[in-house]
Amino acid sequence: MAAAQSDLEQSFASVDDVKIKKEAGLELIEMVLASGDLDKAASLVSTLEQMTPQDPQILFVAYQISIQKVDRTLLNMAIAAPDSAELHMMMADQFVLMGDPDNAIAQYREAIRLNPSLPGVHFELGVQLKDSSNPALKPQAEHEFRAALSLNQFDEKAWRGLGEVMADKGDFSAAKEDYTRALALNRKDSDVETDLAKLLSAHGDAQEATSLLEMAVKDDPTNIQAHYQLSTLYRQAGRTTDAQHEMNEFAHYRSIKERLGKVFRQFRQADDSNDATTPPSPQ
């Protein structure tokens, strides 16, 4: 096996033929995974992804490696620091991925209790509170976004989150200021561009809103909200051909996201039917 791995490593580094390089790389990854070297496997699959970024076989291997790395890191953290704020935040992130916001919120709160200055924790809790179906929790999001900004004034996502809260409260001036601050920190954030455009459009500034939405679909062509809003503004301006194009783009990317959503819902249903997949509380 050692000799085989040595030969494959030499071939992988020197061969130019894409098909042969892929076969050598996948065989090599299988060998290094068998020896438990996840970091080397991740480096190899990264090279393959750069070579053929749309190859489903390579993407699947990359997915498997990333899952193993997450599991290993969680286990290492649970052993090294079972009562740490960091572990509670990691657990919360896993609950978010599993579609369990209640447990995620509880874990984020525990992380904050242990370390109120933990980077990112106030923002993540704010997102869960803002999106909560519990009306009693939603108003608490503002406090968390402001807490995040008190720790880091350059937290672009927290400025956006605060802008969304202000917009929901009907405070146009505050929302515009928050979105503008976020956009100043990241000029290519398609979501912020869309949020600010919607706000401006609702208050009669169609020209600036259109400009922002045109930038939003350029920065992220998959932004379905931007396509939809831009189609509406084009239609209002009499640009029917452009409006139809944007509506077609909206329908195309919405269909893709709906298919992805269906896959993720199936994952969550599988998790719900298997209690063993639910991470235990470190408390």
Q: Cα angle at 65 between 42 and 99, to 5 degrees? A: 130
Nearest partner of 146 among 98, 193, 100, 178, judged by Cα: 178
Give how many domains the chain has, as a whole number. Answer: 3
Share of the chain above pLDDT 70, in %: 93
Share of the chain above pLDDT 90, in %: 82
* Count of beta carbons in the 10 Å neighbourhood of residue 178: 26
Q: What pLDDT does 172 receive?
A: 96
Distance, C-alpha 227 to centroid of its chain: 20
Domain boundary among 27, 61, 80: 80
Rounded mean pLDDT, 3-23: 89
Nearest partner of 165 among 177, 179, 175, judged by Cα: 175
Print the domain residue range for 66.
Answer: 1-80
Q: Is the pLDDT of residue 111 over 80?
A: yes
In a domain? residue 166: yes
Q: Is the pLDDT of residue 25 over 60?
A: yes
Q: Is the pLDDT of residue 43 over 80?
A: yes
- What secondary structure letter does DSSP report for 276? G
Q: What pLDDT does 283 receive?
A: 44
> What is the CATH classification number for the domain harbouring 122?
1.25.40.10
Q: Which pLDDT tens digit goes with each residue over 113-153?
A: 999 999 999 999 999 999 999 999 999 999 999 999 999 99
Residue 259: pLDDT band with limits 50, 70, 90: confident
The answer on 91 and 65 residing in a single domain is no
* Count of beta carbons in the 10 Å neighbourhood of residue 211: 14
Q: Which pLDDT tens digit goes with each residue over 159-201?
A: 999 999 999 999 999 999 999 999 999 999 999 999 999 999 9
Residue 274: pLDDT band with limits 50, 70, 90: low
Place of tokens 């996948």: 26
Q: Give the CA distances from residue 260 to residues 9, 209, 265, in Å, rounded to whole numbers and listed in that order.
A: 36, 29, 9
Identity of the residue numbered 162: L
Supply the angle between the helices 56-80 and 38-51 in degrees, to the nearest 10.
150
Residue 227 contacts residue 253 (beta carbons within 8 Å): yes
In a domain? residue 155: yes
Take residue 98 and report the two structure tokens written for it.
């599993």
**What phi-psi label fits residue 52: left (phi over 0), alpha (psi between -120 and 50 degrees) or beta?**
beta
Q: CB-based contacts of 258: which residues, under 8 Å, 6+ apart?
A: none
In a domain? residue 217: yes
Average pLDDT, the chain: 92
Q: Which pLDDT tens digit goes with each residue over 27-37?
A: 999 999 988 89
In a domain? residue 236: yes
How far is 80 from 77, CA to CA, in rounded Å? 5
